[in-house]
Amino acid sequence: MAPEQYDVTAAVVGLARTLRAAGVAASPDRVHATVDALHRLDAHSRSDVYWAGRLTLCASVHDIARYDRVFDAYFGDRPAALVRRPSAPAAQLRLVAATSDDSAPVDDDGDEAAPMAAAASATEVLRHRDIATLTAADRFVLARLLAAFALPGERRVTRRLTPATTGAVDRRRTIARLMHAGGETAELARQERRRRPRRVVLLVDISGSMSAYADALLRFAHAASHRLRAPSTEVFTLGTRLTRVTREMAHRDVDASLLAVTEAIPDWSGGTRLGELLKRFLDEWGQRGMARGAVVVVLSDGWERGDVSLLGEQMARLHRLAHRVVWANPRAGRPGFAPLAAGMAAALPHVDDFVSGHSLAALEHLAAMVAGARRREPSGVMSHA
């Protein structure tokens, strides 16, 4: 079609490879779709290539910013004619070799991609943080936490129906039974609303003041993510930034999980602006539905660097959305503790349960509470485990 040909497939594969290095999961079937899309568009128009790639390779709004960066780096500012490769036929024959080690045009792209990938990994190494592998004692702790989570969890009534012995008549099943009996009157089938455990959202503070507890709390979060019969547990970390680590927590092995979490968190042991991050959480996730009707647990010492009134305001907002708000403060277990941190004081009026989280027993108690054990203490009273 165009006078000068370039190898669309090679260009797309190279783009996808660069994207993967930048953290966008551009899987092979997506790449396939990109090539397909480009065949239906003008492969020599920068805008068409941009949109074909973006529509097929990105999976969420977070991918788009990365895509934009990679796209610009990969294609440079070559305007309409993107990457016109003079040596089309030969390159097509040995595509794999060309994209991997040929020093000709294709490798340019690798060079352009390299600084970004290198920069990203360097910063990650800087912020990387050792997580000791589990000792036997730790495993014991974990087992106990998991056991504590084995309770059914606080439940809510869903819209899904399930067969039951009492309740409304299940028209569908009753008539199916009738038909089965050749139209003779059969026993009425009944159904009721199914109950499911409520969603649990954990907000784990990993700022500097919490560093002594971060490991234990993340393990706790891992145990919570793997509680029995639970539909969903969402985990976020609060540092200088809000990071969603639900996906990283999904690994069954706790070490592998925590390693993934460590890699995902860019801001270990920084300062926290709880109010701002909480607002971030509510804006981006909570109000859209994640916090609605959920049990939200904040694991933090309430040490707020920013504006305390903002924290109070956002806690009030969270309280209106969530079914129950639990605040676990590791420092609350110390004798003579009073919630003096200004942030804590601002948050307390909007918390249903305030518990400590400094010891295994305290975490067990928290786990039991999250998992729906009857509340024993009225709000505001600390448990001494």
Binding site for another protein (CB under 8 A): 25, 27, 29-30, 33, 36-37, 40-41, 47-48, 51-52, 54-56, 58-61, 64, 158-161, 171-172, 175-176, 178-179, 182-183, 231-232, 283, 287-290, 317
CB nearer another protein, residue 48 or residue 215: 48
Find the angle CA(277)-CA(319)-CA(217) to the nearest 5 degrees.
55
Residue 80 Cβ vs another protein, minimum distance, rounded to whole Å: 15
Instruction: Give the contacts of 366 (CB within 8 A, at least 6 positions apart).
Output: 220, 297, 326, 328, 355, 357
* CA 299 from centre of chain: 17
SS3 of residue 273 by DSSP: coil
CB nearer another protein, residue 54 or residue 190: 54
Backbone angles phi, psi at 376, to 5 degrees: -95, -35
CA distance 234 to 247: 9
Residue 231 Cβ vs another protein, minimum distance, rounded to whole Å: 8
CB nearer another protein, residue 141 or residue 277: 277
CB nearer another protein, residue 36 or residue 253: 36
Name residue 361's amino acid. Answer: A
Name residue 319's amino acid. Answer: H
Residue 273 Cβ vs another protein, minimum distance, rounded to whole Å: 15
Residue 93 Cβ vs another protein, minimum distance, rounded to whole Å: 28
Beta bridge partners of 327: 298, 354
Residue 46 Cβ vs another protein, minimum distance, rounded to whole Å: 11
- 341 closest CA partner among 376, 311, 314, 303: 303
CB nearer another protein, residue 67 or residue 354: 67
Name residue 12's amino acid. Answer: V
